[in-house]
A and B are shown apart, each in its own frame.
Chain A
Amino acid sequence: MISKLIYAILFTGGISCLLSCHKKEFLDQKPSSDLFVPSTLQDFQALLDNDTYMSETPVLGELSSDNFYLPYDFWQTLTPKEHNAYIWASDIYQGIGSVGDWNFPYQQVFYANVVLDGIKKVAITSGNAQTWNAIKGSALFIRAYAFYNVSQIFAPVYDKNTADDDLGIPLRLNPNVDEPTHRATVNQTYTQILSDLLEAKDLLPDSVPTANLNRPSKPAALALLARVYLSMQQYDKAWAYADGCLRLHGDLIDYNSLTGSPLPFNKSNKETLYQSKLLSSTDVLKGLVYKNCIVDSTLYQSYNTNDLRRSIFYTANTPINPKGSYNGSIFLFSGLATDEVYLIRAECSVRLGNRSAGMSDLNNLLQMRWKTNTYVAPTIDSDDTALNLILTERRKELPFRGLRWTDLRRLNKDGANITLTRQLNGQLYELKPNSSLYVLPIPPDVIQFSNIPQNNR
């Protein structure tokens, strides 16, 4: 009897042992084939390829700019954010949080940080070095791009005299969600953006990946550096990076080669360096479908009848609606493209005293925009005329790309003295140059959870 008992215990003991021997492997099985803990280069690339999140950029600046106007009855139906941003109200959210203009860029920062944190644990070998560098460079680029986009809406324009005191934006540099949020200074904000980009430009590949324009490249990083320095009014640096970019990738599309279809541009066109779009959730600016976004008539009238942009950027119906550019869809392109870089180089050349180089860039660009053999290079007799012409053409070349707001901020800082006005149902609204309203309020949920200081409007 006792021996039987021993056998029994041995038997159950044996089974338990058998279990425990393989237990670890058994319990380490992946519960779902589509779930993973990101740890390989391939995983990181897949996260960065998530263009649902990565391609969105803030729209508040464009909503507050002067490229378009809205009919009164349509304006009344807008969400509080869109409704109030249009008239530069001091509180625009009316307590409603979850603001994409803030959340999308910081989600991009989170993804980039997950990648930057994880890639440290992947050893660099001769076989993977190129990919490793490209992924790290992409993550840095994406983080810098997001920080820059947020800073243009929620932080004051860069002023080297006050940049150490002005409140910038929160700079989250690791993926830990439990760390508190602080606002950095404007100087720290730009320093971080620039250092990320300077590191990224040396890691990213030299060529623009035409088939995957959601992926950053060295020309894109250089173009972004040029854009950032231009916004900081540091024209020498802006010129140098614009020049560096165009040396690697300087293609322009001859608009004469485009068809008259509603969507003339292919999203993989040769001018685009990096694809992103203005917040797709807003319907205000989808002029192809919603006919309530009406192009500012002065802007529209400023295009010569031989200027192809008149029919390529805008619809033929009355009133005129914007079609957008370079996105190949009803959404508005807000990424980086060579036309912008030419205009940066042109503007900086003139500001730096090289008027002829600047005019030559402008003329080269406009040659491609007008009907063949109709463009005549203007005769320019002063730097101011040249600069004004370049800035006018800049506005005509880059409408509805989210760039106008930053231009208004920096040009007013520079003394341009541009006052914006809106008229709705007989009421007039005004945005004075250098107004504190040029810095938009931080969303209420962010303030509630982080207790960071709100912008003073």
Chain B
Amino acid sequence: MKKTTALILACLLVSVATLAQQFTFSKKNITIEELSNEIAKNTTYTLVYQSSYASRLKPVTIHVTNASLQQLLDEYFRSQPYTYKFINKIITLIPKESLPPASRLVNIKGKILNEQNEPVQGATIIVKGGTQQTETNENGEFTLFGINDEINLNIVITSVNYEPQEVNWQGEQELDIRLKQHISQLGQVSVVSTGYQKLARGNTPGSFTKIDNELLNRAVSTNILDRLDGVTSGLIFNKNTNLSNANLNQSPISIRGRSTIFANPNPLIVIDNFPYTGDVNNINPNDVDNITVLKDADAASIWGAYSGNGVIVITTKKGKYNQPLKLSFNSNITVTQKPDQYYLPFMNSSDFIDVEQYLVDSGFYKSLEVNPSHPLLSPAVEIMILKRDGKITESEANAQLDILRTQDKRKDIDKYFYRHGVNQQYALSASGGSGNNNYYFSVGYDKNLSTLERNEFNRITLTANNSFAWFKKKLELNTGIIFTASTQLNNNSGIINNITYPYAKVADDNGNPLIVYRDLRQSYKDAVAGPNQDTLLDWGFRPLEDLRNSDNSTKTNDYRINADVKYNIIKGLDLTALYSYNKGYTDLENYQNQQTYFTRNLINQFTQVESGVVTHHIPLGGILDETDNRYEAHNVRSQLNYSRLWSNSSNSKKHAINAIAGAEVRSYKTQRDDTRLYGYNKDLQTSTAVDYDHAFPLYYAPFITSRIDYRNRNKGTTDAYVSYYINAKYIFQSRYILSISARKDESNLFGVKANQKGVPLWSAGVSWDLSQENFYHVGWMPFLKVRATNGYNGNVDRSVSAFTTAQIDPGPNNWNIIPATIVNPPNPSLRWEKNHMTNLGVDFAAKNNIIEGSLEYYIRKGIDLIGKSPLDPTTGVTTFTGNSADMKGKGVDIIIHSRNINHNQFKWYSTFLFSHAEDKVTNYKVQQAQIWYYCDPGTLSPLTGRPLYSIYSFKWMGLNPLTGDPQGSLKDSVSSNYDAIYSSSDLANLKYIGPANPTFFGSLRNTFNWKQFELSFNITWKWGYYFRRSSINYYNLFNTQVGHPDYEKRWQHPGDEKTTSVPSRVYPANAERDAFYTYSDILVEKGDHIRLQDLQVSYNLNKSQYKALPVQALRIYLYANNIGIIWRANHYGIDPDYVNSMPNPRSIAAGVKLDF
């Protein structure tokens, strides 16, 4: 692969004089001017000379037939006082007499490497003030012949993509020069990886985004993917999502928007050569060298049916041949603030108690009070009932209530459940290599103390990558072993949903756990399970005690073993065979001992007393829930790589072909085993058998019978894929590139006939470097290239099948027999989803790369998408899932790098990213029966002509001035018939507001360098989308105790409607009225915002700069993340990325990196 790359580099960079024209020429007395015109007319070369020289050149008579440019020039200059020289495409004149005598000349040798110690090929070396120049070969070596041996000779090294460097030669035998890469990522030699091959960016028309090592290490994180946030063009992290709701099929990351409805929405993650199926948290970011994001059909279609959502290729660090041992140590510590408990809307205790009093007075709790199942009543309501029934006096009651009014559960939660997070990261690596072997070893340790009390994450990673080469590197073997072990403690769920009332107190003033009312009336619990009762266990719920007793952990072990062999068969043709084996175990263990409320509650529920005999159907002791997840993946690939460069002797015609073809087999198996043991004793590791067969009357409601939850199940999945692929690029004259790619995937997609298992996908692309053309004379923009690609990616929805498919139920039926459910009616015409993308791009660079960038426009179409169609329920099936939907999308990705100040001591560079991505469902067969489904955040309700995730609402027509009732619109007239609006099937009663996901996003990153200091900060923005803010919902407030501070702003008297839009309180609560308000457009807000995402400061020292430094290089850095919102469109202080959850708290990291 390396050699291929080298060849591509060579063909791009070697500026050998290529002579395009054969001259047949007969003319008398040609002047230098005429000759210059002749060359300009027939070749791409320019003859440059000083006018003072012209007078000393005599006209020459020339007769040549089929001569090359060189021959022509030789003829002309044979008897002149000057000779000529090619410098790239420029022919310059050199006075013949200035050539120094041979005796005074020396040769200067040297080697030019980049920061990664890779040889820089094709760099130009010029003697400052002199005329001599040369270029480096493929090993980065050069020799300047016949240099005048002077003191203080300076040579200048220039190369595309590298900063020019001036070196003072003091007679060294061999110069060793390091070049620093441009910040530019667009540069021609930037190498991108597709997982199948490494390509020079300039040699492919495809759309790639590369995040290099420097940019990756700008951020500090435990998870590698987090480092892509805000710095990757076209890639967005979808923050305001509900990933736990599988119906919504949302993805945490999208590349260029969305193109599927029900199939897999996630980008493919590739590590080095193969898809990674384990948890991405298993990857130590310190082992990652760079990341390439494949965005369009040309880039991604090599991944065929897995590439519909784009591909993220992670390239890990490797050793290098001929490199001395290099040790590197990186360590940092990150301190994270407590999440803001006071961010989410919260109804204060006093208002809440007032509402409870109102409900008591209205008789709301009457039926609950007499309900034989003893449903929960809150402490305040219990006090009010006692007062009402005369069991306590009014003043006693008020005194008790006044205490509750001062309490705030957030204070206790903040105090007892949260803390500052502290993450520590350590990474040590050693790399190096000899002539035929190189290695990279690393060990990493992460210890994260979460912001949630008692939650932790610990990870150890070990990596060993080795390469061996034999027979002059004709045969190469690469091996890699990566091991990850992690332990996560999940003792604190953080979501204290079980504490329903706002005035709950979890601990007394001495920190002793207090009871919080839950599930059943505390008065009932106290009566049946008091301390003197021996029938039941204590029934009190003490959240703080539960936190202390919690014993919930996840242990993960993950192995990746890779080996690949490359054999160079003949020049340009390599055969590679690759194998990768992944295996991972994740064991979740949740031990809820007998002191936990969960266990005590369950034991009590299943306690039965018959004729004085107490039976615990759930035995005393703890309950252990275990989930073991295992996966195992094999990947085998054999691939032929062909890479050749041809040029004729005069280099006037240059072609290159770079092609791969191969086949691969993938198998991926998972196994999940769930078990629950009752009566578990952790010390003895013993458990007790229970009776799952019989239903028992529940202690608190003997008329309800229930069986003991049977939680032991096993499930395995097997994915099998066979794929064939070919990808070829033809490059002509370094400026025209044609790229084609084709791939066929076959899988064990369930039940589909063999001929439909596979899907052939293809792509084609072209690019044209205009700036290399003769006619191109735009001096201020020396580089301009256009690209166009077109093709198909695929996607798989494995939940559908061509045959009637049934699924074994997870548990037994009422008769203790495991039944099965039909999950899929027959669908013989099932196909894979296809994704068509056309991408048009322009790359450009201004003079001296002051501004460079790229602009891309794409359109995409999802074809044959899996969609749902309604069916006549008489068929026995109400919805049918098949290839019935289509989507469309389009967007723009713009990247601009600018060097605003590029002074030796002070530099200011900026990177500007702008992306636009929008999608639209163009064909969807099901319309929801009632329009409220479109407003419901819990269902995915695609609607033709709208983005897949959209905000719809009911039209808001203000509050009724007499009643404070919200008013909507039904068939264009003002209406308070909420039920009719809510359950209408007429889309005219529904208002489309806009997309729910950002359609425009990007960032501006400024980097300042002053001497050894660097400071950079990233400003990100998202706009073009909407979200729904919450408000008071009386139905939920009365029934589920969910309050909202908007309660204070409610309409209370006529006239209030002028200043508020919060409806009046009514009893009984009308669920439709509340739902109408919740889904009305008065509560929809624009999501647009700008955020100061992060800031990084670092101090870098190098041994070459400070000889006294005891190490080779030293970097000290500070990194602040999630700094804050600069501007937002909404006036409610809502962070649109975190509408229903607490925002990611600010964090600050400090670290040091040492290279020995």
Contacts and interface: CB of A to CB of B under 8 A. Distances in A.
Partners in one complex: yes
B1099 interface: no
Contact of A263 (B703, B715, B803, B874): B703
A124 interface: no
A28 B703 contact: no
Interface size class of B (residues with CB under 8 A): 35 or more
Contacts of A291: 367
Given A12-B640, A96-B983, A445-B929, A37 B803 contact: yes
Interface in B621-644: 638, 640
A328 interface: yes
Contacts of A5: 569-570, 573
Interface in A24-49: 24, 26-38, 43, 46-47, 49
A443 B874 CA distance: 10
Contacts of B717: 31-33
A177 B826 contact: yes
Nearest to B665: A19
Nearest to A76: B1068
Interface in B789-824: 798, 801, 803-810, 813-815, 817-823
Interface stretch (A97-105, A371-379, A385-393): A97-105
Contact of A46 (B722, B754, B818, B985): B818
Nearest to B662: A12
Contact of A50 (B667, B718, B821, B825): B821
B705 interface: yes
Contacts of A114: 804, 822
Taking each of B703, B819, B876, which has the highest tally of chain A beta carbons within 10 Å of its own beta carbon?
B876
Nearest to B823: A35
A52 B809 CA distance: 11
Interface in B694-735: 695, 697, 702-705, 714-720, 722
B669 to A, nearest CB: 9
A57 B697 CA distance: 25
B603 interface: no
Contact of A31 (B570, B638, B695, B718): B718
Nearest to B714: A33
Contact of B806 (A8, A11, A12, A43): A43
Given A5-B570, A51-B814, A175-B804, A445 B809 contact: no
Contact of B819 (A16, A50, A263): A50
B929 A98 contact: yes
Contacts of A24: 754
Contacts of B878: 98, 103
A110 B826 CA distance: 12
Contact of A51 (B569, B819, B823): B819
A51 B812 CA distance: 10
A19 B876 contact: no
B814 to A, nearest CB: 5
A37 B821 contact: no
A261 interface: yes
A445 B873 contact: yes
Contacts of B929: 95-98, 445
A267 interface: yes
Given A35-B805, A213-B815, A450-B872, A15 B822 contact: no
Nearest to B637: A15
A288 interface: yes
A131 to B, nearest CB: 14
A27 B754 contact: yes
B705 A4 contact: no
A30 B703 contact: no
Nearest to A442: B874
Given A27-B747, A212-B815, A175 B872 contact: no
Contacts of B870: 445, 449
Contacts of B747: 27
Interface in B846-874: 870-874
B80 interface: no
B880 A177 contact: yes
Nearest to A1: B570
B757 interface: yes
A288 B876 contact: no
A29 B748 contact: yes
Contacts of A175: 804, 825-826, 876
B369 interface: no
B814 A8 contact: no
A250 interface: no
A172 interface: yes
B663 interface: yes
Given A98-B929, A177-B825, A8 B573 contact: yes
Interface in B558-588: 567, 569-570, 573, 575, 577
Interface residues of A, number: 79
Contacts of B808: 34, 36, 46
B751 interface: yes
A411 B367 CA distance: 39
Nearest to B716: A33
B819 A30 contact: no
B145 interface: no
A329 interface: yes
Interface in A43-96: 43, 46-47, 49-53, 55, 94-96
A274 to B, nearest CB: 12
A144 B801 CA distance: 29
Nearest to B703: A262
A23 interface: yes
A109 interface: yes
Given A15-B663, A49-B815, A32 B820 contact: no
B48 interface: no
B930 interface: yes
A98 B803 CA distance: 25
Nearest to B719: A31
Interface string A93-135: 0111111001100111111011000100000000000000000
A31 B798 contact: yes
Contacts of B718: 29-32
Nearest to B880: A177
A49 B818 CA distance: 8
A34 B715 contact: yes
A33 B703 CA distance: 38
A289 to B, nearest CB: 7
A405 to B, nearest CB: 21
A261 B608 CA distance: 13
B663 A446 contact: no
B749 A330 contact: no
B822 A47 contact: yes
A8 B575 contact: yes
A4 B807 contact: no
Taking each of A29, A55, A289, A328, which has the highest tally of chain B beta carbons within 10 Å of its own beta carbon?
A29
A214 interface: yes
B99 interface: no
B748 A27 contact: yes
Interface in B1022-1059: none
A441 interface: no
Interface in A146-174: 170, 172
Interface of B: 367, 373, 567, 569-570, 573, 575, 577, 638, 640, 662-663, 665, 667, 695, 697, 702-705, 714-720, 722, 746-751, 754, 757, 798, 801, 803-810, 813-815, 817-823, 825-826, 870-878, 880, 929-930, 983, 985
18 contacts: A15-B638, A19-B722, A23-B746, A28-B748, A29-B718, A33-B715, A35-B806, A38-B822, A51-B819, A96-B930, A96-B983, A110-B877, A111-B822, A170-B874, A214-B813, A261-B703, A262-B703, A443-B873
Which 3 A-B residue pairings sit nearest by Cβ, starting from the closest? A110-B876, A262-B703, A46-B820
Given A19-B665, A214-B814, 20 more contacts: A5-B570, A8-B569, A8-B640, A12-B662, A24-B754, A26-B722, A29-B718, A35-B805, A35-B806, A36-B820, A37-B803, A52-B821, A97-B873, A110-B825, A175-B804, A263-B703, A445-B872, A449-B871, A449-B872, A450-B872
